[in-house]
Structure 1
Amino acid sequence: MINLFNKKAEPADIDYKEGAFYINGVAVSFPTSATVLYKALGKPSRSGKTRTTKTTIDCWDKLGIYADYANASHILYILLITNKHNGIQMQPKRFYNGEITVEGKPFAQQGKRSLSLGPHEIGQLVKDGKTLGYYIGWNVYYKEEVPADKYTIHPLEEEVIDFNDFGFKVSIIQELMYNKKLLQPAFDLYEFAEWYDKRKIDIEEEGYEPISEVTQYFKDLPIPKRLAREVTEIYQDGGNEIYLHLLRFGEGREDYWDIESTEDAKHFPNLKKAVLCYAKEHVIEELNEKGIKARWL
């Protein structure tokens, strides 16, 4: 029997220059999309879903590359696997065999576990002192100078949705702000903490519970009625951006944002599907009764 794990992968050299990763000559900036990745790497040899969150997995066996993501238009990173990695669900059949360079200089020779490159980052995947591979992608800690009025909420000169249930509103914000990018600015917790000047928000200290000013921001945020027709589905997942910004160090079992009432569904005439993990038991049945196909995650 041939052991595919002993065979070298086809090389996929990656060079970071001019603010982007160049993979097989294709410029990739993170967050990126599946369309861009497929252009750079070709179609994945295997795809699937994670066992717990049911997010998408793509695996390029011949390249030794792995990616998982909740949203095909908002992929944060890819993994380049160089050793057997038990922490991923779909181990590539060959190990990554390309070279990672930064402005032409090999990353492996720079003596660093990770390297921040403005909005991007390169780093090693290390467990028990053994390098399992590398990651390239979005730098979660990158901060640009925040405009003085970026998170100032101004009254809208148009009709807004009057929400009854905060958990329902949070799910709608995920769809409009992060998935469809129709509700701007996209909220960023670290950026908001830097911008907020009424007191110092210490995320590392306070991030184990909802931060009241952050919660209040989303409660006060107006959502135009004209965007209601854009919502066709709700997909709750503990890894959704909205929950990561509402609670930095959450475990996914919290009930702060549980949908308790389905009354707000009346505002969204095109809402036909809901996949939920933050909701009270009766919500699934009530949504189905309203003609919205609902199930648990």
Structure 2
Amino acid sequence: MKKPDILEIDITDKGLKINSELFTFPIDLNKLSLIFGEPDFFKMKYNDIYTWHEIGVLGYSKKKKQIETLEIYLSNQKDLKFSPRKLFNQVLKINGESYQEIKFKKNKKSDFVEKQIGNNSLYMEFNEKDSQYSTISITDFKEPPILQDPDRYDYKPVAGEKMEFADFNFKLAIIQILMYEKELLRPKFDLYEFVERYKDREIDVDEEGYALIPEVTAYFEKLEIDKKFASEITEIYQDGGDDIYLNMLCFWDGEDDVFNINTITDVEQFSNLKTLSLFSDTQFKEREYLKSKGIGVENIYIR
């Protein structure tokens, strides 16, 4: 892609001005490509991403070739497969004034600024280390929808006695059965529902979903399971396509041991458990221990 000789982006009350042309979202990809050059294309699960590497800009699209969001990379380059290889070093203004000269009030809980400029909505990440903005995302301003059941994922202690676990991954295997298969644990956790309702910061699943998201992990760590459900567990079969793993680590490729069960003493509280099928092999003494409990180990998938 040929880098434009001169590029000036001005986020104005009337729209997004790129050089001398005024745009409003969604912006036709072909029109942007006439200014920015041809982008690289990345097909994601929930949207398409177009990256202009030479100018440090990428665009998000849910409708084919209609850009709903532009993200400008200013500093602190991110190492994602779709991240621009270079940073934006052209002219960026807000209502005719350099963005660097404008002082915005940051969110109290996070290093970002959310601001409405005309019909544009800005999300600006601030890098304290460099004392400057790292990215600015620009999209069409929309009134936030009123969420149904906004407290859906608030912490709720069980009425009875809760289960205790020595191995968090064992707990996740139990959640898979009770929440997603038997539907005894409520609510049935959905990552995108959770993110939509999360209040303390904005979680970007497309960027953060390649690793465990701390707030999601914390939710499942805190989640209580009533001991009355212990009798429901007769078999544990770990599978890479299980809902629990896809909601915790949605872009997991199954090539690491992040969900391996390493401690099997949690079987003590499941008297009806007869079969374990695990991601990782168990040592001889553990097999003997399980055998003494009347539990078979089958279909071992060794990583």
TM value normalised by structure 2: 0.48
Q: Which structure is larger by alpha-carbon Rg, 1 or 2? A: 2
Question: Quick one: higher RCO (CA 8 Å, sep 6+), 1 or 2?
Answer: 1
TM-score, normalising length: structure 1? 0.49
